[in-house]
A and B are shown apart, each in its own frame.
Chain A
Amino acid sequence: MNKVYPDAASALTDVPHGATVLVGGFGLCGIPEEAIFALHDLGARHLTIVSNNAGTTEHGLVHLLKNAQVKKMVSSYVGENEVFERQMLSGELEVELTPQGTLAERIRAGGAGIPAFFTATGVGTLVAEGKEVREFDGRPYVLERGIVGDFALVHAWKGDTDGNLIYRKTARNFNPMMAMAGRITIAEVEHLVQPGELEPDGIHTPAIFVQRIFQCRANTKHVERRTVRKRTP
């Protein structure tokens, strides 16, 4: 069983037109940037992308939007991206806005074989329109569906050649759920190591969820909002 690919392009080469692709990251933190660039270069179109955000005007998923590869986005927060806003308001891009916790749980559920679940989030709002609402213990809850993707693209700090993954700090975010819910999960890692080199107690995503893995080449990371304090002597 070989899961290791030499680069992003070889790992993503069979992503077809019309695929549903789950993409990890929160803002630009923990996004699988090399996989996104490869998807851009390979050119699959009419994609449904499930990702908490749609990148910024300059970085991340915006490359796929600019290239008119995205038919639909499922996201919770899409500010800070002029390209997205323009395409959405013009009707070029279909958008399903989902509360962030509902989105995380829908993907977790999809990956765990749970087709739907009830949550209090969104009851009485646009989000609940057209969905079943049921009362449990006197409180109304809305029925939300699990999400499964044809592919999932995730970014991890360390991974071994079997596919075990460890994320770093808040770059973990949506990546573990995306990894669970992809029929084919492709992990890009900053450090690719041999099995046995990662502490088994510290694995965040066990290898069973990962079908393909490659080591990042450039490892560029972007800061959206640099906020610092001065050192006082």
Chain B
Amino acid sequence: MNAREIIVRRAAQELLTLNDQSGYYVNLGIGIPTMIANHVPAGIPVVLQSENGMLGIGPYPYEGEEDPDLINAGKETVSEAAGTSYFDSALSFAMIRGGHVAMTFLGGLQVSAHGDLANWMVPGKMVKGMGGAMDLVAGARRVIVIMEHRAKDGAYKILNRCSLPLTGARVVHRIITEMCVLDVTQEGLRAVELLNGETPATVQAATEPKVIF
């Protein structure tokens, strides 16, 4: 399995923590988080919220059944699940900001030991905009960042302090990488699970802040 597959499969297991009390309404960010939809554990009645105005995203449509009026937040053609509803963008973000979404998965460029997230901009290089990410981190009840543990050039992505412009300050609850699962706690980052044969030593070497094992 490559890093992305490890991350996505492990991330999908988070859905097992949902229950009738939390509700099963989940928002998947664009990019890698979208792939979690293909790995929802059996028996978990997850309902996917799409920020462009849809509750109940179904699978990709069969060839020939694509509808330009039916897309997800990543602008991919999708289909309706049973019980789908459509609504406008203000109502969609009322769901998100009003705390009605149980869990969101977002990609990340950097995460700090305090749970700060940066994922929308690299000054002078990449400016795509924050889309709905700032709203999601402010409003979803549980924020999980899924990303590769280090940058392609080996640089830390999990840092004492983010150097890139923030998406939100102190908003991340859990980080899932191909190496481990880290929780953001009062005491700092706590490793709750090591993945793919990693050890405390290898995880610590790949992480700037001190990790509690």
Contacts and interface: CB of A to CB of B under 8 A. Distances in A.
B165 A226 contact: no
Given A29-B69, A125-B167, A77 B130 contact: yes
Contacts of B109: none
A108 interface: yes
A174 B50 CA distance: 14
Nearest to B165: A126
Interface string A82-104: 00010011000001010111111
Interface in A24-62: 26-30, 52
Contacts of B88: 104, 172-177, 204
B133 to A, nearest CB: 8
A89 B66 CA distance: 35
Interface stretch (A5-13, A116-124, A193-201, A208-216): A116-124
Contacts of B116: 124
A186 B65 CA distance: 31
Contacts of A228: 60-66, 77
Interface string B102-130: 00000000000000100000000001111
Contacts of B74: 225
B70 interface: yes
A29 B134 contact: no
Given A77-B129, A169-B69, A104 B76 contact: no
A142 to B, nearest CB: 10
Interface of B: 50-54, 59-71, 74-78, 86-90, 92-93, 96-97, 116, 127-135, 138-139, 165-170
